Chain A
Amino acid sequence: MKAEDNITEFKTTAWSAGPGCHGGCGQKLYVQDGKLIRVEGDESNPWSQGRSCPRVLALTQYMYHHDRITTPLKRSGARGEGKFTPISWDEAFEICEKKLKEIREAHGAESVIFCQGTGRDVGGPISFLAYSYGSPNWCQLGLSGHSCYTPRLAAMKATLGDFCVMDASQFLEQRYDSPEYTVPKVIMVWAQNPPPTCPDGFFGHWVVDCMKRGSEIISVEPRHTWMSTRAKHHLQIRPGTDAALALGMLHVIINENLYDQEFVRKWTFGFDDLTERVQQYSPSTVAEITWAPKDTIIEAARYFARAKPAAIHWGVPVDMTPNSPTVAQAIAQLWSITGNIDVPGGNVIARPSHGVTTYPYTTEELVELYGQELIAKLNAKRIGADKYPMVKGFRGWAQPDMAIDQISSGKPYPIKAVWIQTANILGGQAARMKLHYEALRKLDFVAVVDLFHNPTTMALADVVLPAATFAEKDSFRSWWAPLAVIQKAVQVGECKSDWEINFEMAKRLNSGVGKKFSSVRDLINQRLKVANVTFQEMINRGSWAMPPDGPSKPYRRHERGLLRADGKPGFNTSTGKVELWSKTYEAWGLDPLPYYTEPVQGPVSTPELYRKYPLIMIAGTRSSLFFHSEHRMIPWLRDKLRHPFVEVHPDTAKELGIYDGEWVYIENDHGKVKRKAKLSLTVHPKMINTMHGWWMPEQVGSEPNLFGVWQYQINQLIPGPQDSVSGFGGGQYKTTLVKLTKIEQGESEYV
């Protein structure tokens, strides 16, 4: 904190509400008379090095928006009527405490599901609240197959023993100038256009930084993007066929002896089995499956394997392929057998900085925080744990597709309430959105914590609790490095942080909580203890600290005995090696080797449906202006992208008689959704591309309109359940078949 001319500067870390994202950027907040007046990138923060995105630069408009919810609210009309009455925090906490205690008494704690959205700061406090209450059901409800990073994380943990991330020098204080760092010669960017996205634990423009320092790009991408147009090789694959491509590249690399023979001999298990498996995936077979040309597949595989170091950066569509954990396994094998694991400029092992846990990523972290006994007890009742060994064996999620079916059916046990925290389930992540709407409306009790009214608060909430942005709260972050803290700069209305809300609720629901922690600050300090630092010390040193030498700092930790509990060299797997033939997958009843399966619907698996709906829809394309379903009410952002559009190839549009800028329906058996047609050469003629998360804050919020969500929410068309035998992955967000039709005049009020 630095004060000058009545203006105080706070150096902090942006994570969650505000920009909304997975975060990590260092920002300076300027406060005058208790009000935030300006945001400026913090040059001294190694993550973002002074840069900012449009959403964080619009923070003042977000925080002080006239629609912001600034007091707790109680529903005073029928559900969906839009009538809410302001109440005190005491009354709000009392209502929630009473309801949740009654339900626990009558039906057991498992009958309440604790829901979050994407991977943000809320992950720590919501799991804390769920476990303090005694419910095993912590869930990204609506996100089919938990198809966002969890499948990739599970695959890496099972086969490599740890998580890996492309090395953009993010673990090093001097970043690109660090003497031990080398920029990747080649970066294979798999299923992402990093600049407009906010990848998990990664700053999208780091890839651009590397390109400027000499990295060449291989782009695996069904669309043409900024990144693909700057790539040496562009593999324009059919959505959902990623496993075939990865296996085809492995085929080339193994059969042409382009792999790192020493690494494979010393550090891998099951190479011969993998060699045998990949023989089924010759480049010509793969070309036929993926629609990418055979020669490009061969050339790209050679180019990747010959580059030292090379890295792979991947995106969420990998999690939305059929049987995603096997897809992630195959892609991870590409960086493994080429010897690019935990080397400078390769794919480095990513552990939470200093060993601090904010948002539990593994079963081990959950056990560390909550104890073996509680976790084992919760697993017995966790939705999906009995059906899917991977869901049981990795992390602590309830399986979302089964969860919504269970809410509908009441079997095997009834669900009575949901606690939804900063997740607009109906306007955002929910595949089979109508089913979610119908099932959740019937619950006895719905509490929603959020910053703005949205289709979810409006349709479902009995109580709404106003949450804080990152500028209004104390919190901490270790995803992956640096270790960082978030400090409160201002107070807006009566808003509270997720930690404050959940700590207070947890104390009321579990008498042990208050004995263990005296305050949120005390809880944070206890979590930071392993780093031998306090919250205040972290603030004093500028809000961040890079990992010290040890398990959370690269490189070559497998050689130095830093990865395993026994202190021996090797990877953190049962064999001590990278398991190309996965013993963990075998134990989970899955194929230990990677394989390809067709998407559940598509030109190959459902030719008849394909005739009826001849376009493959890629839903969920990103814009830097909005994070998922947020920010549509922020003038500086919305004015730059007023209407939800669908990208259509000009040839396809011509065939359908659709003009540029015309309103159209995207349609399939699940419904129809409105979009403005944007004719664009960037999209394949057999595909369309559109954003998700659209609802209209400027429209009527109460039923039946619900901010226009029924007209614009694209995930209504996404079928379920997940297309994955493991329970994780296979949300059909990128592979659903649709058609486009013109909207006749007078058909809609809001066109």
Chain B
Amino acid sequence: MSEFGLLIEYHYCTGCLACEVACQQEHNHPASRTGIKVTEYVMETPTGLSIDYVPFPTALCDLCAARTQRGEQPSCVKHCQANCMRYGRVDELAKEMEKKPRMVLFKPR
């Protein structure tokens, strides 16, 4: 089991989908498959409308094993235009998560 995960500060995810295509290019996935998938949430709240995007690592996510072995960031993290994704050890990421709201930590493997 991996000790590594993805911390996503979804407050800043703009839904640009760079992560999805970065993943598809990296793994040469066909258009119908991707290791990360962004979902949009639009909702009325007492303080107004909220619009949020959250990237979700699918069953195809291998945390870019080949890249991270070379010391590089996973392709989605590297290319994220909002710089709102981090790759690291889950214990360290969990500590990071204590500092701010509107984050999610995934441990795909």
Binding site for B on A (CB under 8 A): 38-41, 50-54, 57-58, 60, 195-196, 204-205, 208-209, 211-212, 224-226, 229-230, 234, 624-625, 635-640, 680-682
Contact = CB atoms under 8 A, between A and B. Distances in A.
Contact of B20 (A41, A54, A682): A54
A41 B79 contact: yes
Given A208-B82, A639-B32, A225 B21 contact: no
A498 B24 CA distance: 30
Contacts of A635: 30-31
Given A38-B25, A205-B82, A639-B31, A53 B18 contact: yes
B80 A54 contact: no
Interface of B: 11-12, 14-18, 20-22, 24-25, 30-32, 42-44, 48-51, 53, 78-83
A39 B25 contact: yes
Given A229-B48, A635-B31, A52 B15 contact: no
15 contacts: A39-B25, A41-B79, A50-B79, A52-B79, A53-B18, A54-B16, A54-B17, A54-B20, A209-B83, A225-B51, A229-B51, A624-B18, A636-B20, A637-B21, A681-B49
The 6 closest A-B pairs by CB, nearest first: A195-B14, A639-B31, A635-B31, A54-B21, A57-B21, A624-B16
Given A208-B82, A224-B49, A54 B18 contact: yes
A53 B49 CA distance: 27
A118 to B, nearest CB: 19
A58 B21 contact: yes
A165 to B, nearest CB: 19
Contacts of B21: 54, 57-58, 636-637
A11 to B, nearest CB: 16
Contact of A58 (B12, B14, B25, B30): B25
Nearest to B38: A640
Given A636-B24, A637-B21, 20 more contacts: A50-B78, A51-B18, A53-B18, A53-B81, A57-B18, A57-B21, A57-B22, A57-B24, A58-B24, A60-B25, A196-B15, A205-B81, A208-B14, A208-B83, A229-B50, A624-B17, A640-B17, A640-B20, A681-B43, A682-B51
Nearest to A57: B21
Nearest to A625: B17
A130 to B, nearest CB: 36
A624 B16 CA distance: 6
B18 A52 contact: yes
Contacts of B25: 38-39, 57-58, 60, 636
Nearest to A203: B81
A54 B76 CA distance: 11
B11 to A, nearest CB: 8
Contacts of A57: 18, 21-22, 24-25, 79
Given A41-B78, A57-B22, A636-B31, A205 B49 contact: no
B43 to A, nearest CB: 8
B15 A638 contact: no
Contacts of A680: 42
Contacts of A625: 17
Contacts of B11: 230
B103 to A, nearest CB: 13
Contacts of B78: 40-41, 50
A631 to B, nearest CB: 11
B95 to A, nearest CB: 19
A209 B12 CA distance: 9
A378 to B, nearest CB: 41
Given A58-B21, A229-B48, A212 B42 contact: no
Given A52-B79, A636-B31, A640-B20, A682 B42 contact: yes
B31 A226 contact: no
B32 A226 contact: no
A60 B24 CA distance: 11
Contact of A226 (B14, B20, B48, B81): B14
B96 to A, nearest CB: 14
Nearest to B22: A57
Contacts of B32: 639
Contacts of A58: 21, 24-25
Nearest to A234: B48
A638 B31 CA distance: 8
Q: Most chain-A Cβ atoms within 10 A of its Cβ — which of B14, B24, B49, B82? A: B14
Contacts of A209: 83
Of B15, B16, B21, B80, most buried by chain A (CB within 10 Å of CB) is B21
A230 B17 CA distance: 19
A229 B53 CA distance: 12
Nearest to A58: B21
Nearest to B12: A208
Contacts of B50: 229
B42 A196 contact: no
A58 B16 CA distance: 14
Nearest to A39: B25
A678 to B, nearest CB: 10
Nearest to A637: B21
A638 B21 CA distance: 11
B29 to A, nearest CB: 8
Nearest to A38: B25
Contacts of A54: 16-18, 20-21
A192 to B, nearest CB: 13
